[in-house]
């Protein structure tokens, strides 16, 4: 490793344990001009957008990539989302229309991220694509994304959901304290597995994905058998008998109001989010271009098939009135109607295991994202976050995601405050997808011809436009006043999370300005990014301070 130091007031080198802005053992010759980021940093910058990771560190094949995407999409949505969407659509027919439209959006998004992943095959996902497309101001996109990624606390909601279902399966009282303890144990287990036992974690993740797929396929088959009148699959006489697929009832109650349609579609599109999950870990994928081209379409095919088939099963077994008024997730009504109320605990266990797979997939990807930010050099203590020590895993990145999520879970009170915190930290990532898809459209224009964008896979331009518009939809809709009964909060303005989410992004701009403009300007030097190689053979970037003449 190169000697590290920082530029003192007199221009000499002083020791520094782990600075954000590092320089090599000798200073670069001084340059003329104003302080800040070196004017031609992009042309001299040795950054590469292909993962510089040794082949020995690439652990993911096609199956693991499929599992990463499938588990990243599958959470509680497939078990609970249908009743929410039915409430907005008003009819069974419109519910299926929304699920199909959502599948088209997901297909377009998958094509977009395959193109970006094959053109820029390295870990980081949107972070890599944003800094490749939006190169001015240099490193601003990375700083904004870094702050949002570090503060996301994304593990808290699924961990709490796991706690609720796991306690129900074990017949324990789901008090707030018990739920948080179960959530803490779940998150800690995921951290230990992916942080210390990489191969076991991948096998467990793949197994849970296969288990979830198998259970959902069996549910779909049971529903179809019930619809066909097969013996042993009839709805119990004591329950309301469904009649959802007769033409007279299929479209009955359809709600064509714009606000209701928008609310339903918002939930559907979010149910498919996760198609870009493998893109955040491409540096650990064997033959990433070939793998992502195969894994992403297969994974999203399985997701779409499962969503549509399970919805057919739900409506074959559960009446529309029960679905709307039961106050219970559709999967629970499905199991009750076919197999009796005693199966509720079995269902809770199935859902808990599905959520566990979802958390494992998300932690695997997000840990690599933080590591990639460390390798870019924009985080304090970058070598710490960039390292694979001590278990040949990005433990620092994994632990950071874990720690922020546990703090959010521990100190957020229930009700509005908790939901508000989750929403306001996730909103910026919708905005990033808007900028990424819009940026891909820019790469097709003459103004960006110098980028020489020629990836091995090209999404159809209409698909890119369609995906871009869907992200405009997701960004704008939360700003529109909701209709009565659809307010996200009881005591807060509906737009609260939008304001705070954008504020977090603004903090990223402030961080960029202080670190890359104000401090260098005040101390009379410019910054130039250079590449070094870590002890494990992985390349990362540091910043060299260049005195201004």
pLDDT at 46: 42
pLDDT in tens, 212-240: 888 888 888 998 898 888 888 888 778 88
* Cβ neighbours around 352 below 10 Å, total: 22
The CA-atom distances, in angstroms, between 386 and each of 44, 154, 259, 390, 424 are 22, 21, 45, 12, 27
Structure token pair of residue 468: 């871009």
Residue 526: the pLDDT is 84
pLDDT of residue 191: 92
Burial 3-35 (b: 16+ CB within 10 A, else e): ebbbbeeeeebeeeeebbbbbbeebbeebeeeb
* Size of the chain, expressed as the number of residues it contains: 549
Per-residue confidence (pLDDT) for residue 286, from 0 to 100? 83
Superfamily name and number for 57-547: Amino acid/polyamine transporter I (1.20.1740.10)
Cβ neighbours, 10 Å, residue 229:
8
Cα 285–chain centre separation: 18
8 Å CB contact between 282 and 52: no
- In the 3-class helix/strand/coil scheme, how is 515-549 assigned residue by residue? HHHHHHHHHCEEEEEEEEECCCCCEEEEEEEEEEC
- What is the domain partition of the chain in residue ranges? 57-547
- Taking 70 as the pLDDT cut, the residues of the chain under it are 1-59, 76, 258-259, 326-328, 412-426, 483, 485-488, 536-538, 549
Beta strands in 70-176 (DSSP E): none
Cis status of the peptide bond prior to 400, with omega within 30 of 0: no
Q: How far apart are CA 86 and CA 242, in angstroms?
A: 15
344 vs 337: CA distance, rounded Å: 11
Which of 32, 210, 42 has its CA nearest to residue 132? 42
137 cis-preceded (ω within 30 degrees of 0): yes
Radius of gyration of the chain (CA): 25
Q: Strand, helix or coil at 514?
A: helix
Give the Cα separation of 269 and 109 in Å (integer): 11
Measuring CA to CA, how many Å separate 235 from each of 21, 45, 81, 316, 329? 66, 66, 22, 9, 17
- The C-alpha atoms of residue 191 and residue 228 are separated, in whole angstroms, by 45
3-state DSSP: the chain helix, strand, coil percent, rounded to 5?
A: 65, 5, 30
Look up tokens 């870019």; give the residue.
376
pTM of the entire structure? 0.77
Task: Write out the DSSP string of 146-205.
Answer: HHHHHT--TTHHHHHHHHHHHHHHTT----HHHHHHHHHHHHHHHHHHHHH-HHHHHHHH
CB–CB of 330/79 below 8 Å? yes
**What is the pLDDT, as a whole number, of residue 322?**
84
Cα 27 from chain centroid (whole Å): 40
Strand 36-37, strand 13-14: pairing: unpaired
Distance CA 344, CA 351 (A): 11
């Amino acid at each position: 490793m190169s000697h590290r130091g920082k530029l003192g007031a007199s221009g000499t080198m002083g020791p520094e344990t782990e600075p954000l802005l590092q320089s090599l053992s000798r200073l670069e010759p001084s340059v003329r001009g104003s302080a800040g980021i070196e004017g031609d940093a992009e042309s001299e910058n040795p950054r590469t957008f292909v993962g510089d990771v040794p082949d020995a560190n690439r652990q993911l094949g096609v199956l693991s990539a499929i599992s990463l995407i499938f588990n990243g999409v599958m959470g509680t949505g497939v078990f609970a989302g249908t009743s929410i969407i039915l409430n907005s659509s008003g009819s069974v027919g419109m519910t299926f229309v929304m699920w199909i439209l959502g599948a088209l959006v997901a297909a377009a998004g998958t094509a977009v991220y395959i193109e970006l992943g094959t053109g820029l095959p390295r870990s980081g996902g949107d972070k890599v694509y944003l800094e490749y497309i939006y190169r001015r101001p240099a490193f601003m996109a990375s700083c904004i994304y870094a702050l949002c990624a570090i503060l996301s606390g994304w593990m808290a909601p699924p961990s709490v959901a796991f706690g609720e279902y796991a306690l129900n399966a074990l017949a324990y009282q789901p008090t707030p304290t018990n739920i948080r303890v179960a959530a803490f144990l779940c998150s800690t287990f995921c951290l230990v597995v992916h942080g210390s036992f990489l191969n076991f974690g991948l096998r467990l993740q793949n197994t849970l994905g296969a288990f979830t797929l198998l259970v959902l396929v069996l549910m779909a088959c049971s529903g179809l058998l019930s619809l066909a009148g097969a013996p042993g699959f009839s709805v119990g006489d004591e329950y309301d008998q469904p009649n959802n697929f007769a033409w007279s009832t299929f479209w009955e109650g359809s709600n064509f109001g714009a606000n209701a349609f928008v609310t339903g579609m918002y939930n559907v599109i979010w149910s498919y989010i996760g198609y870009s999950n493998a893109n955040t870990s491409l540096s650990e994928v064997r033959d990433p271009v070939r793998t992502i081209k195969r894994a992403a379409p297969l994974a999203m095919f399985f997701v779409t098939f499962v969503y549509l088939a399970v919805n057919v099963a739900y409506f074959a077994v559960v009446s529309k009135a029960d679905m709307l008024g039961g106050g219970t997730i559709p999967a629970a009504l499905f199991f009750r109607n076919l197999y009796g109320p005693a199966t509720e605990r079995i269902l809770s266990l199935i859902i808990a295991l599905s959520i566990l797979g979802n958390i494992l997939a998300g932690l695997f990807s997000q840990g690599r994202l933080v590591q990639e930010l460390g390798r870019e050099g924009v985080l304090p203590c970058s070598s710490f976050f960039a390292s694979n020590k001590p278990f040949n895993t990005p433990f620092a990145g994994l632990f950071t995601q874990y720690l922020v999520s546990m703090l959010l879970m521990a100190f957020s009170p229930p009700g509005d405050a908790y939901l508000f915190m989750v929403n306001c930290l996730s909103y910026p990532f919708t905005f990033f997808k808007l900028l990424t898809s819009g940026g891909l459209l820019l790469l097709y224009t003459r103004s960006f011809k110098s980028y020489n964008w020629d990836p091995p896979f090209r999404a159809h331009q209409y698909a890119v436009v369609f995906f871009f518009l869907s992200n405009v939809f997701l960004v704008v809709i939360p700003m529109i006043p909701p209709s009565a009964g659809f307010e996200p909060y009881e005591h807060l303005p509906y737009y609260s999370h939008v304001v705070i989410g954008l504020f977090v992004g603004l903090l990223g701009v402030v961080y960029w300005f202080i670190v890359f403009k104000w401090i260098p300007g005040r101390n009379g030097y410019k910054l130039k990014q250079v590449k070094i190689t870590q002890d494990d053979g992985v390349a990362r970037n540091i910043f060299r301070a260049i005195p201004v003449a």
